[in-house]
Chains A and B, each alone.
Chain A
Amino acid sequence: MVCGNMAGLELLSDQGYRLDGRKASELRKVQARMGVFAQADGSAYLEQGNTKALAVVYGPHEIRGSRSWIRHDRAVINCQYSMATFSTAERKRRPHGDRKSTEMSLHLKQTFEAAVMTQLYPRSQIDIYVKILQSDGGNYSVCVNAATLAVIDAGIPMRDYVCACSVGFVDETPLADLCYAEESGGVSSLALALLPRGGQIALLQMDARLHQDHLDALIEAAMTACKGVGKVLDEVVRLHLKEVSVLTGE
């Protein structure tokens, strides 16, 4: 298999177009719906290009399981990330708690601890379950965006939206919102979760090599991309709010 941007696969054409025809800073199409389940406290479905995720929130509720988890000054956030067997090109059974999904769950937990006002609910627990139904790159960001909508749907107080986006660096140009082909093309990429209004960073993750001089430009591009995602999420929430308040006739 030909891999890497130095070998054949041209991630950014001379005309400035990417593999799927997007411009360097262009996001994939985001579509989302809130309140998809009646039983859960909050739920949301989000598509970002071909990556699709389902997020469900339960809580705040009494701590289930070990009493040692109880925090007397704030709520505990419990995240669980999973991928459907059919989410990738190769069908694969994905056991619960493998290393990759445990790491992802931890990252999600850290992201939401930065945004949710946990101090309002002492001694309780908030569960966030996210499932990837179809994976085409940017799994972390799509999960964060879906979970944000689900948390808002559950009526849990947050400082701000959390929007996430991945950014790659090719030919001195930052590429926003990588798809799977780009991600696996050996690009050094970075995932950023941002509280857009204040510009605070909830999580920054990079596990590739990159020259220090490029980092600022990359983070800048990631922040712009996150703010773009934030605008879309904002529209979704506002529309949902209006629809529901029309139904309840208030």
Chain B
Amino acid sequence: MAADMRLPTIQKPVSLSVSAFDRKDLVVPGDVITSDTGFMRGHGTYVDDDKLTASVAGEVQRVDKLICVRPLKTRFNGEVGDVVVGRVTEVQQKRWKVETNSRLDSILLLSSVNLPGGELRRRSAEDELTMREYLQEGDLISAEVQSVFSDGALSMHTRSLKYGKLGQGVLVQLSPSLIKRQKTHFHNLPCGASIILGNNGFVWLYPTPEQQEEEAGGFYTNLEPVGLSDREVISRLRNCLLALAAHKVLLYDTSVLYCYESSVHHQVKDILKPEVMEEIVMLTQQKLLEQEG
């Protein structure tokens, strides 16, 4: 089998426009933002000698009297209502610990999941003992953020049939800042696969289920072999996501779909080649601009 090998190429420096050099709102740690004491200290800042100082590298954001610095890249800062995809790391008493790319592992309480047998079922001590039957270490789940604890840890729930354990599919881990916030983060794409765009940057690609399983409580996983055509579509979507992420394009159903459409002339494995990637992303951006009108 022929492998595609290439020599390392020198990265082209990004051509910085004049406006980029004029930007005053970019700060680095230790930069004094203001020595005016009338402002409030937000995230990414600290007060030293009555001077408001930046503690991260990023752009300054001001809302009335509150000054924050938003870093270019951070871990996921969850908010109530966010859709997340995560991996169970620990089963504890009455709760699961879930890794969600957050600063601390998120918590899924036994009382905030739908167990088989309907919503109004009482939770007994037996349920506590059989928690591992529902979700065990390494399982992937989708959930919604229910509340945020004082230390920043997230509490999640899966009290809807759309959330729950994830079966067969592909997980793509990207930066949380690339996911566009939308009304819904669950999409059945017309190209034959479904996608969950977790706000935490974890994206789940899976074959579109034929009929909605009922009464499964979200713990049923279909282990039927997935057809070749579905797998191809999913692999193509995965590579498209990586291409979009490499060029820092915001991810939502339309951008993913346009990228998929632009990539159909290429083989799935070729999508990640830098020149193909560039071409596809350019086409996608063009389509997005046209659509915006």
CA distance A88 to B126 in the complex (A): 61
Within 8 A of A (CB), among B183-208: none
Report the minimum CB–CB distance from A147 to chain B (whole Å).
13
Chain A 179-210 interface 0/1 with B at a Cβ cutoff of 8 Å (1 = within): 00000000000000001111000000000000
Assuming the contacts A157-B56, A158-B55, A242-B21, asked whether A197 and B73 have C-beta atoms less than 8 A apart, the reply is no
> A153 within 8 Å of B by Cβ?
yes
> CB distance A241 to B72 under 8 Å?
yes
> B230 within 8 Å of A by Cβ?
no
> A16 within 8 Å of B by Cβ?
no
> CB distance A62 to B105 under 8 Å?
yes
Chain B 59-73 interface 0/1 with A at a Cβ cutoff of 8 Å (1 = within): 100000000000111
> CB distance A241 to B14 under 8 Å?
no
CA distance A41 to B105 in the complex (A): 16
> A250 within 8 Å of B by Cβ?
yes
> CB distance A242 to B72 under 8 Å?
no
Q: How many A-B residue pairs have CB under 8 A?
A: 103
> CB distance B29 to A122 under 8 Å?
no
CA distance A198 to B48 in the complex (A): 10
Within 8 A of B (CB), among A223-250: 234, 237-238, 240-250
Report the minimum CB–CB distance from B49 to chain A (whole Å).
9
> CB distance B72 to A244 under 8 Å?
yes
User: Which residues from chain A contact B58 at a C-beta distance below 8 Å?
Assistant: 155, 241
> A123 within 8 Å of B by Cβ?
yes
Task: Pick the residue among A39, A42, A123 that contacts B104 (CB under 8 A).
Answer: A123
Tally of chain B residues near chain A (CB < 8 A): 36
> CB distance B104 to A124 under 8 Å?
yes
User: Which residues from chain A contact B14 at a C-beta distance below 8 Å?
Assistant: 243, 246-247
> A164 within 8 Å of B by Cβ?
no
| A35, A157, A195, A238, most chain B CB atoms within 10 A | A157
> A159 within 8 Å of B by Cβ?
yes
Task: Pick the residue among A197, A237, A248 that contacts B57 (CB under 8 A).
Answer: A237
> B151 within 8 Å of A by Cβ?
yes
CA distance A40 to B57 in the complex (A): 17
> CB distance A121 to B55 under 8 Å?
no
> CB distance A246 to B16 under 8 Å?
yes
User: Which residues from chain B contact A152 at a C-beta distance below 8 Å?
Assistant: 28-29, 56-57
> A45 within 8 Å of B by Cβ?
no
Task: Pick the residue among A117, A195, A198, A248 that contacts B248 (CB under 8 A).
Answer: A248
> B222 within 8 Å of A by Cβ?
no
Task: Pick the residue among B16, B55, B151, B247 that contacts A122 (CB under 8 A).
Answer: B151
> CB distance A161 to B30 under 8 Å?
yes
Given contacts A124-B103, A245-B59, 17 further A-B contacts (CB under 8 A): A62-B97, A62-B105, A155-B56, A155-B57, A155-B71, A155-B72, A155-B73, A157-B44, A159-B46, A161-B29, A161-B30, A198-B48, A242-B21, A242-B23, A245-B20, A246-B14, A246-B20
Which of B's residues lie within 8 Å of A, judged by CB?
Answer: 13-14, 16-17, 20-21, 23, 26, 28-30, 44, 46, 48, 53, 55-59, 71-75, 89, 97, 99, 103-105, 151-152, 173, 247-248
A–B Cβ pairs within 8 angstroms, 7 of them: A122-B151, A124-B104, A159-B53, A161-B29, A237-B28, A242-B26, A245-B23
Closest 5 CB pairs of A and B: A155-B71, A157-B55, A160-B30, A155-B74, A62-B105
